[in-house]
Amino acid sequence: MTATDGLVPAATSTGAEGWGLRPVRDPDAEALVRQFVAAGGPLLSERGVAGARAYLEQSAAAGAPGPHVERVEDRRIDVDGRTVPVRVHAPASEAPLPTVVYCHGGGFVIGSVAASDAFARRLAVAGPCVVVSVDYRLAPEHPFPAGIEDAVAALDWTAEHAGELGGDPGRVVALGDSAGATLTAAAVRRVTAAGRRPVRRQVLAYPGAGVDRARTTAFGGEWPLTDVDSAWFAAQYLPEPSMRSDPDSALLTADVTGVPPTTLLLGGCDPLMPEGLAYAAHLTNAGVSVDLHLYAGQIHGFLTFPDTALPRSREALGVVTNAIRNA
């Protein structure tokens, strides 16, 4: 397991304590948090499902649209009597490109390919790579494990159709951030356990691993992922107690034998950071190659913020694209 940002773990530690990490936001992240707090307004959980979704979509629509991509098209995957919509971003290229199956964040409740379009465009151009962005089903209408099933369908479909999309079928990478990282980890584990290996590498940005969030509040608990919203998201996605102990939601209990090499990005001021460290150790203990990148001072969601708001997101995007190129 490798690490960056000058943070070296104690040899036997799997928790945040072993990294000598202090939850102090860097100046850009601090300014962003203060700006949001000063603006006021209800939490996502206080807006309700419809209101939270509308707020995110409106916020995304008001932001910068992302760079031009040569070809952007919406496709539909028909599987098991349902349809999984995906949006394909394909830059111009004479040679087949790496292909990335991307699951957006949003607590399993909010988000869409439209809301994450700007990031998908930045990723496609920076790669360069073909990006297949998955519009997976959301809770509470579709609780666990619906989103995982859609991610699995997207992985299998992309492996089969990468060539016609302008991608290289031999270089498919699974990428997710936040809730999308949790879905990605579970989906990759499922296809691996089934003997299908469509993915060369998985890239996970600040996944939730299903541990008690009360233990992580020292590393965040404020915007953009408050303790209240985190609990609300979990209640929508995992309404039955048995769901919370399933290996596909409690990632630290999952058998990850044979999972492909993993790149993991974590923020030092993210309440999910300690469980991300624990998941890195879980993978390493199973013999999985883990490339761990810790960004001290960074808040939850830092990868997908535009670099005009969080300059270090440019560096994080570079780590992601390097992992994709080398898959």
Please say if 78 is a catalytic residue.
no
Residue 89 corresponds to which tokens in the numbers above?
A: 């971003």
Of these residues, 270, 291, 293, 313, which one is catalytic?
A: 270
Q: 195-208: per-residue pLDDT in tens?
A: 998 899 999 999 99
Alpha-carbon distance of 119 to 149, in angstroms, equals 23
Confidence of residue 168 (pLDDT cuts 50, 70, 90): very high
Give yes or no for residue 19 having a pLDDT over 70: no
| Statement: residue 147 has pLDDT above 70 | yes
Handedness of CA 286, 288, 291, 293 (dihedral sign): negative
User: Phi/psi class of residue 46: alpha, beta or left (left: φ > 0; alpha: ψ in -120 to 50)?
Assistant: alpha
Among the listed residues 110, 134, 120, the one whose alpha carbon sits nearest the alpha carbon of residue 58: 110
pLDDT in tens, 293-308: 999 999 999 999 999 9
Q: Based on the number of CB atoms within 10 Å of its own CB, is 98 exposed (0-12), middle (13-18) or buried (19 or more)?
A: buried
The domains of the chain are located at: 16-325
Tens-place pLDDT, residues 98-121? 999 999 999 999 999 999 999 999
Exactly one of 178, 230, 249, 313 is catalytic; which is it? 178
Q: Does 150 have pLDDT greater than 70?
A: yes
Closest CA to 185 of 114, 125, 101, 302: 101
270 is catalytic: yes
> Which residue among the candidates 104, 282, 293, 300 is catalytic per the annotation?
300
**pLDDT given for residue 311 in this prediction:** 95
End-to-end Cα distance, the chain = 17
Is 295 strand, coil or helix?
Answer: strand
CATH match of 16-325 with 3.40.50.300: no
Mean pLDDT of 122-139: 99
The predicted structure's pLDDT at residue 24? 84
Contact 196, 163 (CB under 8 A): no
Give me the pLDDT at residue 217, please. 56
Q: What pTM did the predictor assign?
A: 0.93
